[in-house]
Amino acid sequence: MDFRWFSAPLLVTVAVVLPDFFADGFSYAPWMSVPIPVAPTITTSATTSVAINPRYPDLPLDKYLANPFFQKINTEYPGLQLIHEDPFVFVVNNFLADDECDRLIQKAMTGTASVGTNKLRPQIGGGAVVRTSNGVVCENEEVPTIRQKISDLANVPDDRQLQHLKISRYIEGEQFSKHTDAWPTEGAPISMGWVNAEDFFGDTRRPVQGCWSSMNQPLHNNFMTCLVYLNDVPFGRGGCTTFPNIGLHTGKDGKNFYEAPAPMDSRVRYDGSQWDWEFGGEQPLTIHPQKGMALLHFGSTLPEHGGICDGNTFHRADPPDPGQEKFVTQQFFASCPYWDLPEDSMPIGRISNDTI
């Protein structure tokens, strides 16, 4: 995501007054003193993955299916593979066909319609985030089949929740440094960079303030990302997607975030140890680019559980080595059908005449 750093930090105490629908029959988020609607129980059973990628684990789905805090994707999707728990990270081998990948690359590189001759635009990081890649943003009618495939995998039938599909190109040395695909609330401490603050993402204000991308609708966030690698990068030659900080963000009272989600306090770790932005409780999770493979993860909890940003899903796009390049398409999901985005995440006209 094109992570937006807010320039005017706002640290306030608010009195929360919520609508009448917060009443009996609703549960409470672990960190909130107000009730929220309970997500419906999903009874989908785990099935054996097909065409799995032998490079990664193929974990059972039971723990994911039992977790109420995150979107329930289509666990019957062919080739779906859970490669990590806490956070839950999935891949789907051969999610897009070679032809689809090639056409998306061609669209980004040689489109001839209203955008002009230079299709690839610089992509914005902002603040402490470094982003040196280039990319394009597709009009929805250019990529209906791709959007439908991703929607089917993510189990999001309302296509208004799918933001515009992006195609990004990384040539040798280009990167997207550590960032989140979720959105903090306006003026959250994260807008000042990697600082120590009680509520780093501003999530305690989300029940009344929302965030900029969700047009300040309470509790909403960008809650899920699906990206697809469009070309192979030789193993060990860079271009990986890396999650370096797994275990950084704990839950309420020091519990596992995935059992009791709570806003991230970056002042000191719950055990009293010094906060370390390089902390990783385990080896970083690294996914190597393979043509057609999808990668899906959750940047925040569902709105009925506070829309809390998950600091364990900080990730980065590592630079390709000399002589290498990477193409990737990114689909971000909003938890609401109405949203807004910065300029570099919005289309400026149809890129080419090819409809994929």
Question: Residue 279 domain-assigned?
Answer: yes
Residue 4 belongs to some domain of the structure: no
pTM of the predicted model, to two decimals? Answer: 0.83
> Which residues form the domain of 309?
27-345
Residue 14 in domain: no
Rounded to whole angstroms, the Cα distance separating 89 from 273 reads: 28
Q: Domain count of the chain?
A: 1
- Domain-embedded: residue 58: yes
Q: Note whether residue 1 is domain-resident.
A: no
Instruction: Kindly provide the residue ranges of all beta strands, DSSP E only, lying in 264-324, ordered along the sequence.
Output: 285-287, 294-297, 315-317
Output phi, psi for 300, to 5 deg. -155, 165
Q: Would 3 be classed as within a structural domain?
A: no
Residue 238 belongs to domain with CATH number: 2.60.120.620
* Residue 355, domain member (yes or no): no
pLDDT, tens digit, 9 for 90 and up, residues 108-144:
997 534 444 445 554 444 557 888 888 899 999 999 9
Higher pLDDT, 32 or 307: 307
**Sign of the C-alpha dihedral, residues 24, 29, 33, 37?**
negative
The pLDDT-based confidence of 101 (bands split at 50, 70, 90) is very high
Give the DSSP letter of residue 346.
S
Q: Model confidence over 63-92: pLDDT tens digits?
A: 999 999 999 999 999 999 999 999 999 999
d(CA 280, CA 243): 9
Confidence label for 224 from pLDDT (cuts 50, 70 and 90)? very high
- CA dihedral 265→269→272→278, nearest 10 degrees, is -130
Bridge partners for 329 per DSSP? 167, 228
Token pair, residue 32, equals 């909130």
